[in-house]
Structure 1
Amino acid sequence: MTDVRERAGFEAWLERQLEHSARQMLRSISPVAIVKQRPGFGQTVRPIAGAIVASPVLADWKPDPDYFFHWFRDSAVVVDALRLLHLEGRVGDEALRHLRDFTRFSLALNGLDGRVDAAVRDRRARVAPDFLQYLRDDDDLARAHGDAVAAETRVNPDGTLDVSRWARPQHDGAPLRALAMLRWANSVRLDAALLDEVATLIRFDLGFTLRRWREPSFDIWEEESGHHYYTLRVAAAALAEGAAWLEGRGDAAQARPCRDASQRVFAMLDGFRTEEGEAAHYRSRGLVGEPPSAKALDIAVILSAIHTHGSAPEHGVADPCMQATLARLEALFDAAYPINHGRPAGRGPAMGRYAGDVYFSGGAYYFSTLGAAEFCFRAAALGGSASHGWFDRGDAYLETVRAYTPAGGDLSEQFDQTTGAQTSAKHLAWSYAAFVSCVHARRAAAVPRRR
């Protein structure tokens, strides 16, 4: 009887948290009622429709980080989660309006030009003296035009360039956005006008990915420049899925280079595999022959598998090398985080990014722990004798998220590895989106279990 009650309580929490996550995630989409002041930069930012901020909470690094930006990567993750909410009937026509606004906002960004835009002209005169050290230089801004805007990492939600120094270029945003738009186009009935706009954005992002995938860029965490597993994996998926979409539209000439490039990227991804026999796993950086990295074991590899679900099976959740990567990450964080020591039965380890992380608490992330859970549910959905074990393993991760989520359901970016207290950005849209996609994957995996 106790197990039945506990299971009922868990299922009820899932539903409550899903509803709360959906509401809170929507706050970050087109936050037009919020005005952000950055007095140090002499800025007043008034968001426009279609922007998606990483967090709608106004902060200035005292102590919480300023995440009131439209990140290309985060916004793609959020707009994909919006699709799931729409398919489940939790968000109706509002989702289609958001999609239209997001598509138009994204296309309009392509017209930005750091050489001539009024928003960056004479910017030094508006910046406080002690903020000049954080200001981008002219040469850096001058590179922000044409398709290079899609490599900007982030822009202001009023549709202007970010004038602060940041990690650029970053090449994961365009392929992630292409994947999100392809899923909208393939799974949701869109009117002809919206479908045409979505198609225009898909073509742009595929073109960007096709031209840029060979070039080094900053990693998903915006810390190191080079060739990174996550960035290449999402590029491979976008090019492969894009090729199929183009072929379906009768555009074989454009599909061919995308498919050829996708195969080359997958071949390059094999170079991230360690040569350790059955213990082989994927490094997040450091191709074979390159110097080893302390950040080689990184949750970004697992996130790449769930962010590209439905694409080619290689380098996906069924890949034994990918599963071994998750096992190594579990062991890493189980040993490193005090909150994982002596945890109750039925609760998985809280997961972070990589060993030695020092950003804020350097602790567990909601989207990391939820990403591990989603990986398990997607593995369970493949069926086979191990499916029940994978499903229970996913639920164990969710029990950990439940244990460190306050009663109100609010999710920040991190929870401290020693105390479990929330840290870093409050109301992180990615955290809420990760919960939405994780529960969606769980429900899909639960279907074969009932047969």
Structure 2
Amino acid sequence: TFWTGSYINANTGGGRSGKDANTVLASINTFDPQATCDDVTFQPCSSRALANHKVYTDSFRSVYSLDSGIAEGVAVAVGRYPEDSYYNGNPWFLTTLAAAEQLYDAIYQWNKIGSITITSTSLAFFRDVYSSAAVGTYASGSIAFQAIISAVKTYADGYVSIVQTHALTNGSLSEQFDKSAGTELSARDLTWSYAALLTANNRRNGIV
């Protein structure tokens, strides 16, 4: 199994932790607007996908100078995996946007389902953004449901804001941006960076 008990291990036996952007990309690419919060397919709103989101994003908080001092539950720049050495290992625009997109997908699913279920697996994720979170199910008419939706949306928007901050003034997006200075690096005008921005924006607007 790729589930470790706290995150999805994308690289078994490879000498790395297995905390990897591919797990978030997998979640947003298996996103089914008609699905429940299914752990088996790592649907974006599932307990395992949300727990994995936290572990994956938190793994960069001590790796990039750009992320230094930013509290858990607040968006940070993220890359492919914390041990990455390509171009000296930096955040990527598409992975930072993928972190946002998973959360927008989850919001869509919660609104469609009409409730949010917090389990012991996902509790740490929810407590980062909503300190009163507790294990249980919150119906869409409840104050807690609306507060959680708002908090997760704010969290997701933070990832998009990071991309906006480090994009060129003309909106150009490269492949990566420097982990210390924030300047663009590697392939210029990477198509996937733009595609990631468009899909994240669509999910934010409820377009699936």
TM-score tier by shorter-chain length is 0.7 to 0.9
Question: In structure 1, the residue corresponding to 2:206 is in which secondary structure?
Answer: helix
Q: Distance in 1 between matches of 2:80 and 2:72?
A: 23
Q: CA deviation at 1:405?
A: 1.2
| 2:9 matches 1:283 | yes
**Superposition pairs of residues 78-227 of structure 1, within 5 angstroms:** none
Among 317, 339, 355, the residue aligned to 2:66: 339
Structure 1 gap ranges (5+): 1-270, 446-451
Question: Which residue number in structure 2 is paired with residue 400 of structure 1?
Answer: 162
Q: CA deviation at 1:293?
A: 3.4
Among 10, 24, 27, the residue aligned to 1:305: 27
Among 365, 379, 400, the residue aligned to 2:106: 379
Q: Deviations over 1:234-287 (max 9, x none)?
A: xxxxxxxxxxxxxxxxxxxxxxxxxxxxxxxxxxxxx1111x3xxx2211122x
Question: Which residue number in structure 1 is paired with residue 150 of structure 2?
Answer: 388
- Corresponding letter in the other structure for 1:273: W
Residue pair 2:93, 2:193 contacting (<8 A) in 1 also? yes
Q: Distance in 2 between matches of 1:433 and 1:363?
A: 20
The verdict on how the C-alpha distance between 1:356 and 1:345 changes in structure 2, with shifts beyond 3 A counting, is: closer
Q: Distance in 2 between matches of 1:335 and 1:316?
A: 28
Q: Distance in 1 between matches of 2:101 and 2:162?
A: 13
Q: CA deviation at 1:344?
A: 9.5
Question: Which residue number in structure 1 is paired with residue 130 of structure 2?
Answer: none
Question: Which residue number in structure 2 is paired with residue 294 of structure 1?
Answer: 16
Question: Which residue number in structure 1 is paired with residue 140 of structure 2?
Answer: none
Among 90, 93, 118, the residue aligned to 1:363: 90
Larger radius of gyration: 1
Q: Distance in 2 between matches of 1:444 and 1:316?
A: 16
| 2:181 matches 1:410 | no
- Corresponding letter in the other structure for 1:285: N
Q: Distance in 2 between matches of 1:319 and 1:406?
A: 35
The verdict on how the C-alpha distance between 1:330 and 1:379 changes in structure 2, with shifts beyond 3 A counting, is: same
Q: CA deviation at 1:424?
A: 0.7
Structure 2 gap ranges (5+): 116-144
Residue pair 2:174, 2:189 contacting (<8 A) in 1 also? yes
Q: Distance in 2 between matches of 1:336 and 1:283?
A: 19
The verdict on how the C-alpha distance between 1:318 and 1:344 changes in structure 2, with shifts beyond 3 A counting, is: closer
Query: How large is the Cα RMSD of the aligned pairs?
Result: 2.2
Question: Which residue number in structure 2 is paired with residue 142 of structure 1?
Answer: none
Q: Distance in 1 between matches of 2:97 and 2:149?
A: 18
Residue pair 1:374, 1:441 contacting (<8 A) in 2 also? yes
Residue pair 1:415, 1:422 contacting (<8 A) in 2 also? yes
Q: CA deviation at 1:357?
A: 0.6
Residue pair 2:61, 2:70 contacting (<8 A) in 1 also? no
Question: Which residue number in structure 1 is paired with residue 75 of structure 2?
Answer: 348
Q: Distance in 2 between matches of 1:344 and 1:320?
A: 21
Q: Distance in 1 between matches of 2:23 and 2:71?
A: 27
- Corresponding letter in the other structure for 1:283: N
Q: CA deviation at 1:343?
A: 4.9
User: May I ask how many residue pairs the two structures share in their alignment?
Assistant: 167
The verdict on how the C-alpha distance between 1:348 and 1:437 changes in structure 2, with shifts beyond 3 A counting, is: same
Q: CA deviation at 1:380?
A: 1.3
Question: Which residue number in structure 1 is paired with residue 137 of structure 2?
Answer: none
- Corresponding letter in the other structure for 2:168: P
Q: Distance in 2 between matches of 1:342 and 1:285?
A: 28
Q: Deviations over 1:173-225 (max 9, x none)?
A: xxxxxxxxxxxxxxxxxxxxxxxxxxxxxxxxxxxxxxxxxxxxxxxxxxxxx
Q: Which has the higher helix share?
A: 1
Percent of pairs with identical residues: 27
| 2:39 matches 1:317 | no
- Corresponding letter in the other structure for 1:299: A
Q: Distance in 2 between matches of 1:346 and 1:281?
A: 17
TM-score under structure 1 normalisation? 0.35
Q: Deviations over 1:335-378 (max 9, x none)?
A: 11001114599961001011221111310000000000001111
Q: Distance in 1 between matches of 2:72 and 2:179?
A: 19
- Highest relative contact order (Cα 8 Å, sep 6+), 1 or 2? 2
